[in-house]
Amino acid sequence: MNWEDLARELAYTTDSKIVLLVCDGLGGLPVNGKTELETARTPNLDEVARLGVCGLTDPVFMGITPGSGPAHLGLFGYDPLEYQLGRGILEALGSGVEVGRDDVVTRGNFATFKDGLVIDRRAGRIPTEENERLCAILNASLPKQDGVEIQLTPGKEHRFVARFRAQGLSDALSDADPQKDNKPRVPAKATAPEAERTAAIINRFLDDLTALLKNEPKANTALLRGFSKFPSIPQMAELFKIRPAAIANYPMYKGLAKLLGMDVLKVGADPADLFDALEREYAGHDFFYIHYKPTDAAGEDGNFEKKVAAIEAVDKFVPRLLALKPDVLVITSDHSTPAFLGGHSWHPNPFVLVSKNAQPDGVRAFTEIECSKGMLGRFRSLYAMPLMLAHALKLKKYGA
Amino acid sequence: MNWEDLARELAYTTDSKIVLLVCDGLGGLPVNGKTELETARTPNLDEVARLGVCGLTDPVFMGITPGSGPAHLGLFGYDPLEYQLGRGILEALGSGVEVGRDDVVTRGNFATFKDGLVIDRRAGRIPTEENERLCAILNASLPKQDGVEIQLTPGKEHRFVARFRAQGLSDALSDADPQKDNKPRVPAKATAPEAERTAAIINRFLDDLTALLKNEPKANTALLRGFSKFPSIPQMAELFKIRPAAIANYPMYKGLAKLLGMDVLKVGADPADLFDALEREYAGHDFFYIHYKPTDAAGEDGNFEKKVAAIEAVDKFVPRLLALKPDVLVITSDHSTPAFLGGHSWHPNPFVLVSKNAQPDGVRAFTEIECSKGMLGRFRSLYAMPLMLAHALKLKKYGA
């Protein structure tokens, strides 16, 4: 019996409310002796640390650097070693492509085809504007296939997302990609009989695209990789008996939330909009996931000062969370993004949980080291959800 | 998906270097209020604790006292609950017997046979010199079997290791041991059809041995237990994409390292030779396992003062490790050996990791209690390898 089985057995609906603020990439590493969190002035986060019980979380396990998908899955109570989201679906979500249960999505590259060979799998990294122009042409001009809707969404440079919408599609397909330059084009192949029709649709699409673009100097064909359907993953409402809402202003996180059955609330682009939405919609749900991106963005840029500023900026919103008096408030991150490394890392996440049913543990600052002294110790992010539900009195006793 | 699967997916080769110093049996228990580590003067180990991030490890899980095999497997990134090394192979490695992929090895006892019964399964614990004399006779005089090479290596008192080398041997064999005194001799039996020929070779050997020794007063037959082939275990180079070297001066640890595909470096018997070898061979590998035995030996003797001295002795070599500036330096032990208990124990191991990609956590002394306050918390030794690879930037991101 694992956590998922236990959740199905023990979770039940109550009026209590849980607020989970994810400051993306919050944890860091010292530069001049102090981490971003240690450098930032964070009177409100420190107050939360004093009010709550603290710890450090590992998103997957010690030493593993997670992508955003696995890192969030863990926080939402799904074992990221069990649920793996395909590259196509994540790329689609990250590009803001709406994915339904009948769709197959895939990553695409524009490529250069000459004398029967793919001579450049990235079409010389054409400018993004070129990519946008080509996707517009293709969306307007691709020959119709019966009962099939195809939509291309441009990404950066030569990258795009293709969405195929039709009844009965399957993602049991090999990549339509020769993997190396100077090889012939490769069709998608069905790896299971039920995908034969999908393969035919996709290969017809690739031929149509290649015909339409035959006079383009560089981007005159395309490769497709990572075919994915909407993953079949238990919904949060069903597993945890909650009515979850997602408050995020980046497509990737909205898409992830949608995969898990959260209501994705309408939010503007400004961080303040997150907290406005929470206050506005507070009555209608009992679990709120708020995603704050600037901490991660600054870390990815390797910009220590900008990350410090992003932390100080989110700190100012914290009193608004406390003012709502949720039964459980958790502030943490999905993974660390030290500016020192300029990318996601394996370092653990500061974690604080405030609840009248929790014991404050004497931690007085919301930093990596101080959280490591908290009563929650160091634990997998997977246990964040049982802890939140438990402190909100949403879990029954296990056994008699 | 477990760590091994993840390692295959995420590990990649870089130039960064990892040095792992295993002070065997380092952790202890208080005598007169202080453990061996707390009693020893260890300015250099304490400096390493200040520079690094600390924790405590459980080799298997809490409460389990490991042998050297499981304890080391865990540290090298192999789950000791999944990989179990046969007693025969460990005894062979511990006796310095070279084991190849075609060999079957087994533990042996000289025993006393009279009137059709094994009347003493340990041959009155004959002196080791007697054992050595008998093994020499047998190695010289055993009748040849076609295509089979048999070698006995004496151990202490009545114990030896037998190695059978031939094409197509199998270790699917029951023990050739009546288990109790005053029972008839028992042949090895094949527990799978492919072991029939091996059983015949071994039983012929036992009969030949018994015939050769028929005039010995005590040691006039032998029992064989724990038949093992070279275990099939993934190699470190393949799993972790590293070029590992083992620097050890005891046969058991060299043998274990060989099982995992490490290059076993030539080292003299003196502890200083370990560090000479590291400096000499530093360019040729990217992962160095250094095994320091005196801490365990003193603990096994129940000699607290000797263990303190062994700790102070290894402390003096620590600056040579730091001088190499490895990307990752870990100092820990495989298991604890408190002098108070005079043997291996289940107590956790002090652990410190130094890397520019790690956050020093304020721990100022390398002792059991101080390490328990470190940011790594308490964790299974199995996570030492992901942590080392991660801090050396040898692991890619998991998922997108």
> pLDDT per residue over A179-217, tens digit each?
899 999 999 999 999 999 999 999 999 999 999 999 999
Q: pLDDT grade, residue B345 (50/70/90)?
A: very high
Rounded to a whole number, what is the distance in Å from the CA of A87 to chain B's nearest CA?
7
Query: Region A300-326: what's the mean pLDDT?
Result: 98
Name chain B contacts of A378, Cβ cutoff 8 Å.
Answer: 375-379
Predicted pLDDT of residue A175: 94
* Rounded-to-integer distance, Cα B29 and Cα A293, Å: 48
pLDDT confidence of residue B153? 96
pLDDT of residue B400: 77
pLDDT score, position B150: 97
Task: Find the mean pLDDT for residues B253-276.
Answer: 93
ipTM metric: 0.88
Strand bridging mode B244-247 / B117-120? unpaired
Residue A369: which of B357, B375, B391 has the nearest Cβ?
A: B375
Q: Is the pLDDT of residue A261 over 80?
A: yes
pLDDT over 80 at B340, yes or no:
yes
Mean pLDDT of A220-236: 93
pLDDT confidence band for A101 (50 / 70 / 90): confident
CB contact under 8 A, A66 and B390: no
Minimal Cα–Cα distance from B27 to chain A, Å?
22
Chain A residues within an 8 Å CB radius of B57:
none
Chain A residues inside the 8 Å CB shell of B6: 60, 64, 81
**Residue A235 CB contacts under 8 Å (≥ 6 apart), including other chains:** A260, A261
Instruction: Report the pLDDT value the prediction gives residue A398, as an integer from 0 to 100.
Output: 97
User: What are the residues of chain B with a beta carbon less than 8 Å away from any beta carbon of chain A?
Assistant: 1-3, 6, 10, 357-362, 373-379, 383, 385-391, 395-400
**CA count, 13 A, side-chain hemisphere, A125:** 1
For residue range A370-390, what is the model confidence (pLDDT) as tens digits?
999 999 999 999 999 999 999
Which stretch of B24-33, B230-239, B369-378 has the lowest confidence by average pLDDT?
Answer: B230-239
Q: What is the mean pLDDT of residues A35-39?
A: 98
Of A228, A242, A230, A273, which is closest to residue A76 (Cα–Cα)? A242
A231: Cβ contacts below 8 Å, ≥ 6 apart: A83, A85, A86, A89, A259
**Contact B398/A68, CB-based, under 8 Å?**
no
How many pairs of residues across A and B have Cβ atoms under 8 Å apart? Answer: 96
Mean pLDDT of the B165-171 span: 95
Mean pLDDT of all residues in A11-16:
98
Measured between alpha carbons, how far is A198 from A232 in angstroms, rounded to an integer? 19
On whether the CB atoms of residues B399 and A66 are closer than 8 A, the answer is yes
Q: Is the pLDDT of residue A93 over 90?
A: no
Q: Is pLDDT at A87 greater than 80 in this prediction? A: no
Instruction: Using the predicted structure, report yes or no on whether residue B162 has a pLDDT greater than 80.
Output: yes
**pLDDT, average across residues B217-235:** 94
Over residues B250-272, the mean pLDDT reads: 92
CA-nearest of A304, A293, A341 to A94 is A293
Distance CA B239, CA B9 (A): 9
pLDDT per residue as tens digits for the range A130-150:
999 999 999 999 999 999 999
Mean pLDDT value of segment B340-363:
98
The torsion angle over the Cα atoms of residues A128, A129, A131 and A133, rounded to 10 degrees, is 170
What is the residue-averaged pLDDT of chain A? 96
Distances (CA, A) of A5 to A11, A392, B180, B295, B303: 10, 19, 48, 46, 50
pLDDT at residue B268 above 80?
A: yes
Separation CA A101–CA A85 (nearest Å): 14
- Average pLDDT of chain B? 96
Q: Do B386 and A62 touch (CB under 8 A)?
A: yes
Which of A394-398, B115-119, B228-232 shows the lowest per-residue confidence on average (mean pLDDT)?
B228-232
Is the Cβ pair A64, B386 closer than 8 Å? yes
Which tokens go with A74?
A: 């863990």
DSSP secondary structure string for all residues of A289-335 = EEEE-HHHHHHHTT-HHHHHHHHHHHHTTHHHHHHT--SEEEEE-SS
pLDDT of amino acid B287:
98
| A289-303, B34-48, B85-99: range with lowest mean pLDDT | B85-99
Residue A1, pLDDT score? 85
Q: Hey, which bits of chain B come out as E strands?
A: 18-23, 53-58, 103-114, 117-120, 149-154, 159-165, 221-229, 244-247, 263-264, 287-292, 328-332, 349-354, 377-380
